[in-house]
C-alpha cells in the first residue's frame, strides 16, 4: 500500500460530482460575462517566479532541474503565466482580453484548513482596461457565481480596498517608509495583536506614534478624512475606489461590497483596487478568495504597458463557505437509468440505452454478468432513478418492465414504446 502525499487529496466520484457542479456554476457565470477559457502549462521556468518574487520564493515551489538541464517548477499561481501569454501575442489580441481558467496549482507550504500543497483555482482576468468598470465587472462576476451557488448577502461580503490609498497615506508621513513592508504589515493586521501590528509598521519605517495614527486612520475608513490627510495622490485613489464601487452597484454587486482599508493583499504586484471575499458569519476565518488590479505586471514581463485586473477563486475555501451556508451540492452519484438484463437480451437493452443516451441521459447497463439481485443492488448504489428490466420472458410478449426506484412501483411497457418519442420517460408516463 502506498500513502497519499501530505497536502494532496483524492476525490472519489461522489466528491467529484459536487466539485464539478460548483466549477461548472462558476465557469458558466464567467462565460456570461464574455470570459473565454484558456489552457495553460503546469510547468514553467523557475526564473519567472524568482524575477517576480525573489530567490526566497524557490523554497515554496516544487522546483527541480529537468532532463534538459532547465530549472523548472510546477506552477504555483496563474498570473505570471497569463502575463507571459499576453506578452507573446499582445499585438494580435483584441482588447479588452478576458480570460478564465480552472486548474490545479502547487506550493510547498504548511498544510492547514482550506490550504493544501496541491490546490484548485478558477482565475478570471481582464487585460487592457484601466476603467473602473473593469474592476467592477470582476466583482459582479464573483457575486453572480456565488449567488448562482445559492449563497446570499447574508453569507458573504467583499471587503474592498485600494493599494494606492495605503501607499499614498504611508508616503504622506515624514518618515523613510518601506511601503511594501508596511502594506504587508497591513495585510497581517487582522491576524495579530495591535501591539505586534504597530511593531511591524515601525519596523517598516514609521515611528510608533505614526504607526498608531496610520492604523487608526485606515480602521476608521472615512474616505473624506483619508483624502484630506493624504493629499492629491490619495484623493485620486479615493475617487477611483468610489468610482469602482459605484459601477459595482450599477452591475448588481454593490450590496456585497464594503470598504475595508485593512484589506491589502500581500502580493507586491497589486497596484489599485484589491478585494477579498469573506464569510459574513465569521465561521470560516480566512478569506474565501481575493483579487485586484495589477497594472504594471505585463510591462515587467517585457510587454507594452497594459492595465489588468483579476481574481483567483480557490476551490477549497469556496467549499468551506458553501458547506457552512448549507449549499454545497450533495456528494452522491446520479444515474437516470439502469438497464437490468435477464438472459440473452443484450442487443435490445443496448438499443434502448443508446436511444436514452442520445437524448442526454446518464444510462448504465450491466457489464459484469451479475444476477438479477446483484444488478438491482448496484442500481440502488448508483442512485438510479429508473430501472428498465429487459428480460427474456417480457420480450417474448414484446414488453419491458419500468421500475421507479423511489416508490418501488413498476409496470410493463411495449418495448417499441420505450423510450419511443420521449427523451426521458419515467414510470409515471406509463401508469
CA dist 366 → 158, 199, 421, 427 (Å): 50, 68, 24, 21
CB 167 within 8 A of CB 176: no
Residues paired with 119 in a beta bridge: 105
Q: What is the pLDDT of residue 269?
A: 82
The C-alpha atoms of residue 57 and residue 255 are separated, in whole angstroms, by 37
CA 305 to chain centre: 28
Handedness of CA 218, 294, 96, 255 (dihedral sign): negative
Give the number of other CB atoms < 10 A from CB of residue 24. 12
**pLDDT tens per residue across span 87-96:** 999 999 999 9
Which domains, and CATH codes, for the chain? 13-40+75-325 (3.30.930.10), 335-429 (3.40.50.800)
Q: What is the pLDDT of residue 286?
A: 86
385 is in an annotated binding site: no
**pLDDT tens per residue across span 146-187:** 999 999 999 999 999 999 999 999 998 988 988 889 888 988
Q: Are strands 363-365 and 335-342 parallel, antiparallel or unpaired?
A: parallel
Give the number of other CB atoms < 10 A from CB of residue 79. 18
4 is in an annotated binding site: no
110 is in an annotated binding site: no
**DSSP label at residue 173:** S
CA neighbor of 333 nearest in space, from 25, 19, 13, 12: 13
CB 336 within 8 A of CB 384: yes
List of residues 6+ apart from 327 with CB closer than 8 A: 149, 150, 151
Q: What is the pLDDT of residue 114?
A: 80
Q: What is the pLDDT of residue 369?
A: 93
79 is in an annotated binding site: yes
CA neighbor of 8 nearest in space, from 107, 81, 75, 102: 107
**What does 351-416 look like in DSSP terms, one character per residue?**
HHHHHHHHTT--EEE--S---HHHHHHHHHHTTEEEEEEEEHHHHHTTEEEEEETTT--EEEEEGG
Q: What is the pLDDT of residue 256?
A: 97
357 is in an annotated binding site: no
| pTM of the full structure | 0.91
The C-alpha atoms of residue 295 and residue 409 are separated, in whole angstroms, by 63
Helix (H, G, I), strand (E, B) or coil at 213: helix
The C-alpha atoms of residue 52 and residue 73 are separated, in whole angstroms, by 14
CA neighbor of 161 nearest in space, from 284, 259, 17: 259
Q: What is the pLDDT of residue 239?
A: 97
Percent of the chain having pLDDT more than 90? Answer: 85
The pLDDT tens digits along the chain (431 residues) read 899 999 999 999 999 999 999 999 999 999 999 999 999 999 999 999 998 888 989 999 999 999 999 999 999 999 999 999 999 999 999 999 999 999 999 999 888 878 899 999 999 999 999 999 999 999 999 999 999 999 999 999 999 999 999 999 999 898 898 888 988 898 888 888 999 999 999 999 999 999 999 999 999 989 999 999 988 889 999 999 999 999 999 999 999 999 999 998 877 788 999 999 999 998 988 899 999 999 999 999 999 999 999 999 999 999 999 999 999 999 999 999 999 999 999 999 999 999 999 999 999 999 999 999 999 999 999 999 999 999 999 999 999 999 999 999 999 999 999 999 999 999 999 88
Q: What is the pLDDT of residue 51?
A: 87
CB 370 within 8 A of CB 378: yes
Helix (H, G, I), strand (E, B) or coil at 219: helix
270 is in an annotated binding site: yes
19 is in an annotated binding site: no
Q: What is the pLDDT of residue 268?
A: 76
Cell numbers at residue 75, please?
Answer: 506552477
Amino acid at each position: 500500500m502506498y500513502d497519499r502525499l501530505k497536502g494532496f487529496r483524492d476525490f472519489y466520484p461522489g466528491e467529484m460530482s459536487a466539485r464539478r457542479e460548483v466549477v461548472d456554476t462558476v465557469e458558466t457565470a464567467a462565460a456570461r460575462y464574455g470570459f473565454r477559457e484558456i489552457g495553460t502549462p503546469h510547468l514553467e521556468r523557475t526564473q519567472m517566479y524568482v524575477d517576480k518574487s525573489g530567490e526566497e520564493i524557490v523554497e515554496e515551489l516544487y522546483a527541480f532541474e529537468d532532463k534538459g538541464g532547465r530549472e523548472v517548477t510546477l506552477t504555483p499561481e496563474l498570473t505570471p503565466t497569463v502575463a507571459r501569454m499576453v506578452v507573446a501575442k499582445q499585438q494580435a489580441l483584441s482588447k479588452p482580453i478576458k480570460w478564465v481558467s480552472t486548474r490545479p496549482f502547487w506550493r510547498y507550504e504548511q498544510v492547514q484548513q482550506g490550504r493544501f500543497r496541491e490546490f484548485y483555482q478558477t482565475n478570471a482576468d481582464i487585460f487592457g482596461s484601466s476603467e473602473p468598470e473593469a474592476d467592477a465587472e470582476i466583482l459582479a462576476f464573483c457575486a453572480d457565481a456565488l449567488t448562482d451557488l445559492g449563497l446570499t448577502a447574508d453569507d458573504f461580503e467583499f471587503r474592498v480596498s485600494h493599494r494606492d490609498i495605503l501607499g499614498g497615506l504611508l508616503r504622506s508621513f515624514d518618515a523613510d517608509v518601506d511601503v511594501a513592508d508596511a502594506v504587508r504589515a497591513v495585510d497581517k493586521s487582522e491576524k495579530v495583536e495591535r501591539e505586534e501590528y504597530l511593531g511591524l509598521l515601525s519596523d517598516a519605517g514609521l515611528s510608533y506614534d505614526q504607526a498608531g495614527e496610520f492604523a487608526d486612520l485606515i480602521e476608521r475608513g472615512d474616505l473624506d478624512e483619508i483624502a484630506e490627510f493624504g493629499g492629491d495622490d490619495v484623493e485620486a485613489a479615493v475617487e477611483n475606489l468610489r468610482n469602482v464601487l459605484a459601477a459595482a452597484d450599477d452591475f448588481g454587486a454593490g450590496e456585497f461590497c464594503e470598504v475595508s482599508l485593512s484589506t491589502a493583499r500581500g502580493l507586491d504586484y497589486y497596484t489599485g483596487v484589491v478585494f477579498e471575499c469573506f464569510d459574513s458569519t465569521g465561521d470560516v476565518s480566512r478569506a474565501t478568495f481575493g483579487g485586484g488590479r495589477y497594472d504594471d505586471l505585463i510591462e515587467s514581463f517585457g510587454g507594452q504597458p497594459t492595465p489588468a485586473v483579476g481574481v483567483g477563486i480557490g476551490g477549497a475555501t469556496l467549499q468551506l463557505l458553501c458547506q457552512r451556508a448549507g449549499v454545497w451540492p450533495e456528494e452522491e452519484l446520479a444515474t437516470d437509468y439502469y438497464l437490468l438484463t435477464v438472459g440473452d437480451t443484450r442487443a435490445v437493452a443496448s438499443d434502448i440505452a443508446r436511444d436514452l443516451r442520445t437524448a442526454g441521459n446518464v444510462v448504465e447497463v450491466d457489464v459484469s454478468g451479475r444476477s438479477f439481485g446483484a444488478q438491482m443492488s448496484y442500481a440502488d448504489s448508483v442512485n438510479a432513478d429508473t430501472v428498465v428490466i429487459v428480460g427474456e420472458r417480457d420480450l417474448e410478449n414484446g414488453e419491458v418492465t419500468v421500475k421507479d426506484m423511489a416508490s418501488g412501483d413498476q409496470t410493463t411497457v411495449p418495448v417499441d414504446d420505450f423510450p419511443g418519442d420521449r427523451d426521458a420517460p419515467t414510470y409515471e408516463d406509463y401508469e
